[in-house]
Amino acid sequence: MRIHHETARVYKAVHGWIGISIGLALFIAFFAGAVGSFKAPIQRWTTPPAPVTATPIAQVPALVERVLAVYPEAAADYLIMLEPGPAHPGRMSWKLPPGSSPHGQGPVRAYADLAPDGSLHVTRTSPSPVGGQIVQLHLKMGLPFDETIAKPITGAVAAVYFLMLVSGVILLLPSMMNSLFARRVGGNIKRMWLDLHSGFGLFGLPFHFAISLTAVVFCWQGQIERVQAAVFGAMPAAAEQGVVPLEHPHPEKMLTPEQLLAALARQAPGFQPSAMLYTRDDEGRTRLLINGVDPRHAVRGPSSGAAEMDPFTGVIASASRLPGRQDGWEALETNLRALHFGNYGGLFVHWLYAALALGGCALVYSGNLLWIESRRIKARGNDPELPCQPRTSRILGALAIGVPLGCVSGIAITIAAAKPLTGRVEDLAAWHYWLFYGVFLLAVIWAQLRGPGRAGVELLRATALAIASIPGVSFLATILPFGWNHGIEGAAVDAVALVAALAFWMMGARALRRSCGKPFDSLWHVPPSRAHGHATHRGPPRQTAFPAAKEE
Amino acid sequence: MSAPSYSRSALDWWGRGAAGLFLGGLLALGLSGLFARFGSGEIGVATARAAASIWLFVATWLPVFALSFRARSAERAWVLLGAFNLLVWAPHFLNASGR
């Protein structure tokens, strides 16, 4: 396909300038999204084991009655967990009034169970905040703002990300067939990065288109809806024909959870319920939502759909979020949303999505390096004077290293810190929050101080160590009196972290080898020692001689 | 590659992008309205039927915005997208005046 050279030039300008301005935010979104999609195992890993005496499901009505007698405020919104575990240590739970800290300090939920002797046992605790914070990083692309401010910005970045994809493809089209599988490793290093960049972009293209489009809808749905309503009027005028909750004459007339689950299984075979959410509005009407999944269908939420049931009759009151029982419009919306979450197709698709998101990280990382490298000033001939690289290139180069690696090591450290911190500090959520941003900022500042070349090597190694601290604290927890381990489910998290740590360590070694071979006017060149009186470099000698051959 | 042509196109990408952003958005809004009026029947409310018009809006806007940079010049982008807008919005106005 031929592209007019003028068009190509416009797209090149757009691709480059917009890429460098949103690339770093996209990296955080990709990485936090990939990690955050494993929120459940991370939450288990980061939450201490709690003695769960799960009340038998047959005794739940007695449990609820006992709890509501002591804590009437729980009636407004309580949850019956069908399979309580470490991250949800209790059959019944309800939200406590929010604490004073902006990061949600202290216990946020109360969990109740009936002890074997029939006494009521209530604990106030909160599942580890780490998983939720990583998901927040994904939603806000790391911006430390309130969601009402950060979400529209995320939407704008996602929209521009779509433009990046189109412009990238248009730039690639003329030469695509020649270089589709070419990976010109070695020789010209810029060529290698370009091949990697195009490869990651092209082979992940359907994923990236789906992610950017769905992200724009998620972020701007409310705003678009309001504009449409303002221009066309809300159609139909009688909006919200959702289920009218039934009058609630006597709570004792509600069916028991056992009966309700049996009724649900009859009406929606194949749906696997996980939790029952009871809510009561100001007029005392009770609604029941049963969350769950159906492996044969996509689900509307990130990890679950829901059946709305009439708690008095056991009839499904609304199937609008019930997988496989939705009408065409609802199924359409659910399936489009599922394209973002990757919650169809089980573990395989989940890992495929994670791999594609990490591919997105590589795409952004390589794109940034290419843009910066293409702007560097090359030494001409044998001029002994080093050309001064533009200040902006140095700053951007350091950012392109510091932000991604700061994000990765920040997330790793905040996960690892859960085991030593839990139970030792008062405001756990704030600790995790500031730990992430602290490590993140440290990496960003370090990259600025050391320059992109040296910081690249050093931060890759630091990141490898940060990730290794996850299995590290797990190991220490087995020999020292702190922390906990969850058996095979926790060990899976440790194993993944160990592999990732090794990968980052190897990348660090490669970066070191590459930076030694760099022409000494390159931004990525690591000088053997600073000529201008800065502290000499400690550690192994990085380079003994200037490279004999210049790049290109 | 002559210098003047380069600088003109560099300036131009704002013009083309603005056309795609604003007229593309207007076009997508008009299309989503047509879709609701003659298809799904619901818009501007929080239902799955109305959500379809939101998806249509985004699925129109983003490609139009991204492809607006292909226009030969900023002026052409504005004229072309303006013409498409007239086409899409005409039924709305005809409907409104016929009521």
A381: in domain:
no
User: Do A40 and A185 fall into the same domain?
Assistant: yes
The closest of A428, A364, A421 to A204, measured between CA atoms, is A364
User: Do A139 and A287 fall into the same domain?
Assistant: no
Q: Is A326 on the interface with B (CB under 8 A)?
A: yes
User: Do A176 and A144 fall into the same domain?
Assistant: yes
**Unique residue bearing structure tokens 């195009």:** A198
- Mark yes or no for CB contact A14/B29 under 8 Å: no
User: Do A33 and A146 fall into the same domain?
Assistant: yes
- Mark yes or no for CB contact A332/B41 under 8 Å: no
Distance between CA atoms of residues B17 and A293, nearest Å: 43
Report the residue of A171, A333, A336, A337 to disrupt the B interface, i.e. the one with the largest count of B CBs within 10 Å.
A333
User: To 10 degrees, what angle do helices A130-140 and A428-450 make?
Assistant: 50
What are the distances in angstroms from CA A233 to CA A2, A381, B50? 45, 69, 12
The verdict on whether omega for the bond into residue A144 sits within 30 degrees of 0, i.e. cis, is no
Distance between CA atoms of residues B24 and B41, nearest Å: 23
The closest of A139, A131, A165, A135 to A19, measured between CA atoms, is A165
Residues 6+ apart with CB under 8 A from A247: A285
What are the distances in angstroms from CA B54 to CA A158, B28, B37, B65? 16, 9, 14, 16
- Mark yes or no for CB contact B45/A333 under 8 Å: no
pLDDT digit string (tens) for chain A, length 552 residues: 566 777 888 888 889 888 888 999 999 999 999 999 999 999 989 988 877 778 889 899 999 999 999 998 888 899 999 988 877 888 999 988 765 444 555 567 889 998 888 888 888 877 888 999 999 999 999 999 988 999 999 999 999 999 999 999 998 887 766 666 666 666 677 777 888 898 889 899 999 999 999 999 999 999 999 999 999 888 775 545 555 555 555 555 788 999 999 999 999 999 999 999 999 877 778 889 999 998 888 888 888 999 999 888 888 988 889 988 888 899 999 999 999 999 888 899 999 999 999 999 999 999 988 888 777 766 555 555 666 677 788 888 899 999 999 999 999 999 999 999 988 888 888 999 999 999 999 999 999 999 888 898 999 999 999 999 999 999 999 888 888 888 888 899 999 999 999 999 999 988 888 777 666 667 676 665 443 333 333 334 333 333 333 333
Distance between CA atoms of residues A452 and A524, nearest Å: 6
What are the distances in angstroms from CA B79 to CA A329, A426, A535, B57? 35, 62, 61, 21
User: Do A468 and A524 fall into the same domain?
Assistant: yes
Q: Is B87 on the interface with A (CB under 8 A)?
A: no
B32: closest chain A residue by CA: A228
Residues 11-50 of B with CB under 8 A from A: 12-13, 16-17, 29, 32-33, 36-37, 40-50
- Mark yes or no for CB contact B48/A232 under 8 Å: no
What distance in Å separates residue A208's CA from the closest CA in chain B?
A: 13
Distance between CA atoms of residues A196 and B47, nearest Å: 43
A440: in domain:
yes
User: Do A288 and A354 fall into the same domain?
Assistant: no
Half-sphere exposure of residue B27, counting CA atoms within 13 Å on the CB side? 24
Q: Determine which helix (DSSP H) or strand (DSSP E) holds A92, and give its type and residue range.
A: strand A92-95
Residues 6+ apart with CB under 8 A from A451: A394, A397, A398, A523
- Average pLDDT in the B69-74 region? 87
**Unique residue bearing structure tokens 């300038």:** A17
User: Do A414 and A505 fall into the same domain?
Assistant: yes
A263: in domain:
yes
Report the residue of B47, B67, B72, B73 to disrupt the A interface, i.e. the one with the largest count of A CBs within 10 Å.
B47
> Would you say residue B31 has pLDDT above 90?
yes
Q: Is A2 on the interface with B (CB under 8 A)?
A: no
Enumerate the residues of chain A whose CB falls inside 8 A of the CB of residue B67.
166
* pLDDT score, position A99: 59
User: Do A191 and A268 fall into the same domain?
Assistant: no
What are the distances in angstroms from CA A48 to CA A43, A45, A411? 10, 8, 19
DSSP string, A228-271: HHHHH--BSSS----PPPPP---GGGSPPHHHHHHHHHHHSTT-
Specify the number of domains making up chain A.
4
Enumerate the residues of chain B whose CB falls inside 8 A of the CB of residue A231.
29, 33
Quote the distance between the C-alpha of residue A56 and its chain's center.
Answer: 35
A441: in domain:
yes
User: Do A118 and A134 fall into the same domain?
Assistant: no
Q: Which domain holds residue A472?
A: 386-552
* pLDDT score, position A348: 93
- Mark yes or no for CB contact A14/B69 under 8 Å: yes
